[in-house]
Structure 1
Amino acid sequence: MQKILVVDDDPHIREVICFALAKAGYATVTAADGRQALSLCERERPALLVLDILMPEMDGTEVCRRLRADPARDHLPILFVSSKDDEIDRILGLELGGDDYVAKPFSPRELVARVKAILRRTALPAPGTAARTMQHGRLRLDLDRYRAEWDGQEVVLTLTEFGIVRTLLERPGKVCSRDHLMNTAYELHKIVADRTIDSHVRRVRAKFAAIGAEPVETLHGVGYKLGPCE
């Protein structure tokens, strides 16, 4: 059973989410605030984090920032949940590295569907199954394990960051507009802002730059493209 960490300061909301996830076959652990969530992430090693934004002690955005700054937990999928159905909050959550967003009041069935979709993208292939890969120069993507490598060295990306690199790799050397990246890198939420894509691309560049690589090129006012990767 895959384990989901549910973080919300409202015990009723935690109970509803855990009940829905348990019916879908997931194990759950819970936290009432951000500090407890970080501790449980370390101890429980969950497959996914369902994270409320507005909480005491430490809010969900700060939890996300700390996880994304930790190379050991940077890849942990995060589904944000918040009572504030405001575009600014949605964009902020995605810019920080969230993989999806659900607004309260939500349908438990919808939340479970989004959890399944995220975990499906991170599932390992069955033993003996040939890996599906894409490669361009020194850049290689393992599509089944959501693993990116540059010259054999792993670059840990979030699901959305991986989706952006995959989209660029499908058309190496050709420019992808921000609209195209929005419609391909985001599988469940299509309505995001240009600056959200720009934020994700900046993080992708920073991660590759840390190992001396610069695969993504900008055409100002147009979009992004994958360079020669030599």
Structure 2
Amino acid sequence: MIRLFHVSDIHFGAEDSAALAWFADCVHREQPDAVIVTGDVTMRARAREFAAAGAWLSGLGCPVTVEVGNHDLPYFNPLARAFRPYARHDRLARMIDRPLAIAGIHIVPLRTTARFQWRLNWSKGRVSQEQLSRALARIESAPAGATILVVAHHPLMEMGTQGTARTRGGAAALTALATAGAQAVLTGHVHDAFDVAYPVLHRTVRLIGAGTLSERVRDSRPSFNALRIDSGQLDVSVREMA
């Protein structure tokens, strides 16, 4: 059996120190096979926030893959956002967009952030053809029978949560990913957990969202998802901090 911890929206700069300590304790006690972080590791993409996030994630002591969230792009500097949006990610470079293969489980990154968009709210999601093609190529390279988990920051479809993603290209991307063989898509952004079996053509894909470990809670307490995968069967439980 493979065990994965799925956490999101840590927001260093607005982090919940008690929630971070609780999560780290869970990791150290239970030793999951990997930790998946679906974006927004910082609040304002400041260098000190990335440094703190990198140190904390490195201290977990297990494989970590990180997706970039909208808060991880420069907030106050439009030139940096346009030309060097990921320059401050050095401490996380080896974790960002990191595919993982663990005993037949293939974790495939899909970036859904954009430096700019033709709409006012740039925090919402977007799946470009370039990023989708990269994810599909990684799925195609996985061996037959592998369990494919796609990880992204923004939900590809709206899940009825208080927060919204409004991901452009999300529906088409989900169809392409499901057709290619993805069993589940793990996301964050909305700060509340969900787990929905979503019909796509002749298949069903699990859409799984994680809560937050920051002070920016919405409908639920700080939480993360614990995934267990055994013989291709995926079980998800939400762990909320007491």
Superposition TM-score, scaled by structure 2 size: 0.30
User: Relative CO higher for 1 or 2, CA cutoff 8 Å, sep ≥ 6?
Assistant: 2
More helix by share: 1
Larger radius of gyration: 1
More strand by share: 2
